[in-house]
């Protein structure tokens, strides 16, 4: 297997690569082979201080830049991503194991779409508004601290960077230490697009050090975080010391509610895809498939047949649909949940514990389906973040809604059925985004969670508004 990586030799601060304040580094491991493909700086609180100072100094000039100029620059960033898409896709595949076809289509395709969508929103955004005797002015917050995950690394960065820049903010980013190499690409693309020095800064390192320093920093005005609910709780607690705004996009345990009048083959095929895409490492996945009890066995047969189409293997192989987990410790966690499901009495109908045959090396997992699952069991309640689908029977529609809403999460769900019927059920689900009959992803629509899936929204006008203060001038 060949890898294509781009290794940062220092942090990106004030428009250039600067030496780290520590000689410590973090290894970036290719999860398909276990080989170290790069070493990146392990940042310190002092590195964060330097980045925040650069962002603070750059803020007045960037905030004063007309919105139309900010839009034009962001579009140049999108063009730069497209131009380097093949190299960037290969880097993401090497650092976190996303199949190359997925890296091209989604890992790069999604952030480019997000750039275009936010640019369109900003062009029509009401930056000022007259309400009675008041002039309502929407202004940038200041310096934004962004902390992003490894599963869709460029998309998650762009989901924060694009609206933050369009709003007139400057930004300090901590990318995931699991998949940090793509951030160097993005920093270079922004510089090539003409972004002024200091507006976008990158500090590599761990959450325990760099993430904590960003969350607590008195000169950072807002935190935007995507990741686990556990980490989101910690960030909220640390950020409370300076009463900064905190936007959180956290975990999920989405339900695919299949109604009696659904197109069953389509509902099951789409549901398996939404459980297994990106090797199941998607916060908006649907790992729970809720089915009428009378059709449970039929659904199981369809799901097993659909799962057989998901080839596991080398992520650089064009035929691979499921690559390795992003790192070995995560593989062990997912494998532990599969073993827990068996121990708790769920019926294993596909896959199971252990590595797939012929893939004894690398962080590979067997895509797995359980049937007849207790909706209160660990595998039906806790976020596994791997290719594990639980099929849960329900007696009637009210029970289906109760089960779908019966976790601490509320990020995404799906409903399949006669369109008006499915829409009525979708309205009853406590989730920030619900797809009806496989509705298409819309980067202009707000995305975010209810309950412990987070606070705030990304994408669309709501996503841009997250990065703005609102001032009322009475006249």
Indicate which residues carry an active-site annotation. 249, 283
* Residues 101, 107, 111: CA angle, nearest 5 degrees: 140
Q: Decide: 89 and 108 in contact? Cβ < 8 Å.
A: yes
Picking from 228, 250, 229, 255, the residue whose alpha carbon sits closest to that of residue 373 is 255
Picking from 197, 221, 163, 217, the residue whose alpha carbon sits closest to that of residue 61 is 197
Picking from 117, 248, 245, the residue whose alpha carbon sits closest to that of residue 169 is 245
Picking from 472, 433, 435, the residue whose alpha carbon sits closest to that of residue 454 is 433
Whole-angstrom Cα distance, residue 273 to residue 267?
10
Residue 332 CB partners (closer than 8 Å, separation 6+): none
Q: What is the CA radius of gyration of the chain?
A: 22
C-alpha to C-alpha distances, 292 to 262, 375, 394, nearest whole angstrom: 10, 14, 5
Q: 75: buried, middle or exposed (CB in 10 Å: 19+, 13-18, 0-12)? A: middle
Q: Decide: 454 and 232 in contact? Cβ < 8 Å.
A: yes
Quick one: which H or E segment has residue 413?
A: strand 412-416
Angle 296-307/264-276 helices, nearest 10 degrees?
A: 50
Whole-angstrom Cα distance, residue 282 to residue 286?
9
DSSP string, 183-202: HHHHHHHHHHTTPPTTSEEE
Picking from 321, 327, 284, 290, the residue whose alpha carbon sits closest to that of residue 306 is 321
* Residues 242, 252, 307: CA angle, nearest 5 degrees: 150
Residue 122 CB partners (closer than 8 Å, separation 6+): 67, 70, 71, 74, 166, 464
Beta bridge partner(s), residue 199: none
In the chain, the largest separation of any two C-alpha atoms, in whole Å, equals 73
């Amino acid at each position: 297997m060949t890898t294509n990586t781009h290794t940062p030799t220092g942090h990106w601060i004030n428009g250039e690569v600067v030496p780290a304040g520590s000689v410590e580094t973090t290894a970036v491991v290719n999860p398909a082979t276990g080989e170290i493909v790069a070493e990146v700086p392990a940042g310190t609180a002092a590195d964060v201080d330097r980045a925040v100072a650069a962002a603070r100094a750059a803020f007045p000039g960037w905030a004063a830049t007309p919105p139309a100029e900010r839009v034009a620059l962001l579009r140049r960033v999108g063009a730069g991503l497209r131009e380097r898409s093949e190299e960037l896709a290969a880097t993401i595949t090497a650092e976190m194991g996303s199949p190359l076809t997925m890296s091209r289509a989604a890992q790069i395709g999604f952030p480019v779409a997000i750039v275009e969508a936010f640019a369109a929103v900003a062009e029509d955004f009401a930056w000022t508004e007259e309400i009675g005797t008041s002039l309502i002015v929407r202004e940038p917050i200041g310096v934004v601290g962004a902390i992003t995950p490894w599963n869709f690394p460029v998309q998650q960065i762009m989901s924060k960077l694009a609206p933050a820049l369009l709003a007139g903010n400057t930004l300090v980013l901590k990318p995931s230490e699991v998949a940090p190499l793509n951030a160097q690409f993005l920093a270079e693309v922004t510089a090539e697009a003409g972004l002024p020095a200091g507006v976008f800064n990158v500090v590599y390192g761990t959450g325990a050090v760099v993430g904590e320093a960003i969350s607590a920093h008195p000169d950072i005005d807002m935190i935007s975080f995507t990741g686990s609910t556990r980490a989101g709780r910690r960030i909220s607690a640390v950020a409370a010391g300076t009463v900064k705004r905190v936007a959180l996009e956290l975990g999920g345990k989405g339900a695919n509610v299949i109604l009696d009048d659904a197109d069953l083959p389509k509902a099951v095929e789409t549901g398996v895809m939404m459980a297994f895409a990106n090797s199941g490492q998607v916060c908006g996945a649907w790992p729970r498939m809720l089915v009428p009890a009378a059709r449970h066995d039929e659904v199981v047969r369809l799901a097993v047949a659909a799962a057989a189409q998901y080839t596991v293997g080398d992520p650089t192989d064009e035929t691979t649909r499921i690559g390795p987990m992003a790192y070995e410790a995560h593989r062990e966690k997912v494998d532990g949940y599969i073993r827990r499901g068996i121990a708790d009495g769920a019926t294993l109908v596909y896959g199971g514990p252990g590595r797939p045959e012929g893939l004894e090396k690398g962080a590979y997992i067997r895509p797995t389906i359980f049937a007849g699952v207790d909706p209160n069991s660990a595998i039906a309640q806790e976020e596994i973040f791997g290719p594990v689908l639980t099929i849960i029977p329900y007696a009637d529609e009210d029970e289906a809604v109760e089960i779908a809403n019966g976790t601490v999460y509320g990020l995404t769900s799906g409903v399949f059925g006669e369109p008006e019927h499915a829409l009525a059920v979708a309205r009853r689900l406590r989730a920030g985004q619900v797809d009806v009959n496989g509705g298409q992803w819309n980067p202009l629509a707000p995305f975010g969670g209810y309950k412990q899936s987070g606070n705030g929204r990304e994408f669309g006008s709501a996503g841009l508004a997250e990065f703005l203060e609102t001032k009322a001038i009475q006249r």
